[in-house]
Chains A and B, each alone.
Chain A
Amino acid sequence: MSGAKLIFTNPASVPLAELPLLTPDSFSQELYISMAEGWRVCSYFGHRQPGGPLRRYAVLAQDSQQQLAACCCELEGSFTSLAVLCPQVSLFEREICEQYGITAEGHPWLKPVRFPQGGVGLMDFYQVEGDQVHEVAVGPVHAGIIEPGHFRFQCHGEEVFHLEISLGYQHRGVEQALPAAAPGRALAMLEAVAGDSTIGHLWAHCLLREAVDGTVVSERASLLRGIALELERLANHAGDLGALAGDVGYLPTASFCGRIRGDFLNLTAELCGSRFGRGLLLPGGVRFDLDHAQAAGIQKRLLAAYRDLKGATDLLWQSASVINRFEGTGQLSLETAAALGLVGPAARACGVAVDARNRHPFGCYGLHALHAPTGQQGDVLARARQRSQECEQSAAWLADMLEQVPSGTVRETPALPQAGERLAVALVEGWRGEICHVAITDLQGAISRYKITDPSFHNWQGLAVALRGEQISDFPLCNKSFNLSYCGFDL
């Protein structure tokens, strides 16, 4: 069936005219068959080219063959939902319906996604009925220093029958603003799509821009980007491991990791002045170079911070009470994770071998491979161990790479945008998982549609399902084991 979709590799910029335009029925069939063949949905959205008809575009990935693909179909009035057969398209279909005011026929759960028209949180929540069933509503404002979102639990005593997550509070309208934004302003917004994934999102944007314009980035710049991305992963994974320890009241690791996370952020600040990597990446390369002495200094501090992280997390695995709380909590099967289309460490902890760094290599990862391990159990323990193993791997990779930054320039002048309608796709493996940016350009080569899929968009439903049958008191622990982004979802 490959004739019904255009196949390419990451990152790509292809003429829009080459994209197969299917009928709605054959589009549905194509998606269904592709998913049965092991493809998964990276992005799926609606768009109307200036003066053209409204269309649906789907971007798929085949992880075992390092392939991406896309196809499209016209969209008028309504379309037939695939959500029952392919749960991973459910939220994408809801998003299309919300953004274009149309209906997905037969969708079992057609509710708002971000409430862009107001009335946030006002919707029919799923309710379980029965004498002893009670409902717990939490949020949008939570007890800690975290972003807002609403959680609605249906409980029987302590046991959670069902959790429904309603977001949209962080909606800033980024996607809508990007096409008309000046280039500098666009970069500033993209750096703050999800502030803890600044490097991940900006790298995806740079890959996209560079693919559209035909700019070739030097190996040196590419590796510096990789160094920044792995530092971002280490900082966030270290923070999560500490927070998981804190959620089960194991304070030594919680205390150590809170500080160690900062040690990694400070290394990113050595690269570019900002602990979150603001200002480092831009189309064409990176803004700041790294000399030999700086690289050696960062390597030394990295190894010291990793040694502390290992010491702090080893305590977790040696504590019977921690293992007891982590093990079997919030478990997801491989089948469920695959059906929901989960990505990142949460998916890998269930045994899904999905990692854009080696399945869809980009930037420096083609030359300097980094293979993330996979787990099996899909519980909090597996997600914690997954992060710990990824930290070990990233630290070793970084220590190695900091010694072999190739010579060359770090910043090329971006080429001028090519005229003509194109579809561009870029995947980056952020610390939470796959970040997918898609752009469609108009006849003049200007971006007319920008679509961002943060890994959280795939994974929030995974958290909701993981909570089924768990105690409500384990929600913070399960939540932290996924640690998803609210603003990355809300855009």
Chain B
Amino acid sequence: MLLSLLERIRQGYRTMPFPRTPPPLAERFRGRPVLEPGRCADGCRACLEACPVGAISVTADGPVIDQGLCLFCPSCSEACPQGAVAFSRDYRLAGRARTDLVLEPAQTPPRAEPLEKDLRRLFGRSLKLRQVSAGGCNACEADTNVLNTLAWDLGRFGIQFVASPRHADGLLVTGPVSDNMREALLATWEAVPAPKLVIACGACAIGGGPFRDLPAVHNGLEGIIPVDLFIPGCPPHPATIMDGLLRLLGRID
């Protein structure tokens, strides 16, 4: 007992001040893409061709990136000879609508809006979520789990992950929805009492991620269950997930 207290004193108080202050992010962290179509050479499609998952299209106005599909890998920025595609360190990526994730030139996508007033009254100070991994690779799961550690301490906002869908106000889903998990996912969703929320966490749950269009998966939650919050990334940084959850509850402006 004494030893554990001494060790606690030695290790100190380690809960991050985030979201009061920005989270510590690595120098090379890749957040929201930055597009500078003015730099694009005529007819250049280097970024589109380099993207492993087809997240980029090139329009007359320049490249368009679907952050829902984007793996935030460095392929496009590396391939662009003009520096027209780069990654910023903006980790605030979550969106309420699927279309909010599509980043067009000279446009700042909206940050995730809070829930409607009546739902915020219900969930704003106590949100219990059931996590379902439906073909997830354990990276989204791990960086969701990390929010429960003392470093992030999600519980202080009244957000908790619970063991049963019957105790939950919503689901946080990871993975591209493997065909073999579809039925279990639907059963879990149906077991959550209404009104209920669904959060698609990670590129797989949003659009299939690296597994998009494989015959054994469903390209994420689209067409399977309605989604209230999309959190891009492969996997999303814990700060991205936490930011999304807190915005949904109207706890961050």
Contacts and interface: CB of A to CB of B under 8 A. Distances in A.
Interface of A: 114-116, 118, 120, 140-141, 143-148, 168-174, 176-177, 182, 184-185, 187-189, 191-196, 198, 239, 252, 255-256, 258-259, 261-262, 266, 269-276, 278-279, 287-288, 308, 311-312, 314-315, 318, 485-487, 490
Interface string B129-148: 00111111111111111101
Contacts of B151: 258-259, 262
Most-contacted residue by chain A among B53, B176, B210 (CB, 10 A): B210
16 contacts: A143-B164, A145-B133, A147-B136, A169-B135, A171-B179, A188-B209, A195-B235, A258-B149, A258-B151, A259-B149, A262-B149, A266-B24, A272-B28, A278-B73, A279-B30, A314-B3
A185 B134 CA distance: 20
Contacts of A115: 180
Given A146-B138, A261-B149, A315-B3, 14 more contacts: A143-B163, A144-B131, A145-B141, A147-B138, A147-B141, A171-B216, A189-B211, A192-B234, A193-B137, A272-B28, A273-B74, A274-B72, A275-B237, A279-B73
Contacts of B27: 270
Nearest to A271: B28
Interface in B214-240: 214-217, 234-235, 237-238
A140 B11 contact: no
B215 A173 contact: yes
A182 B218 CA distance: 20
A118 B183 CA distance: 11
Contact of A172 (B28, B51, B178, B184): B178
- Interface size band for B: 35 or more
Contacts of A485: 138
A274 B131 contact: no
Interface in B70-95: 71-75, 78, 87
B21 interface: no
State the 3 A-B residue pairs at the shortest beta-carbon distance, nearest first.
A195-B139, A195-B137, A258-B149
Contacts of B24: 266
B14 interface: yes
Contacts of A315: 3-4, 7
B139 A120 contact: no
B65 to A, nearest CB: 16
B163 to A, nearest CB: 4
A192 B164 contact: no
Contacts of B217: 172-173
Contacts of A270: 26-28
A192 B209 contact: yes
B142 A196 contact: yes
Contacts of A259: 14, 149-151
A187 B3 CA distance: 46
Contact of A141 (B148, B161, B184, B238): B184
Contact of B53 (A120, A169, A170, A185): A185
Given A146-B141, A173-B214, A262 B146 contact: yes
A308 B27 CA distance: 23
Contacts of A255: 149-150
A195 B176 CA distance: 13
A171 B180 contact: yes
Given A194-B137, A275-B237, A312-B7, A269 B216 contact: no
A184 B50 contact: yes
Contact of A195 (B50, B134, B140): B140
Contacts of A187: 52
B10 interface: yes
A141 B26 contact: no
B62 interface: no
A259 to B, nearest CB: 4
B139 A192 contact: yes
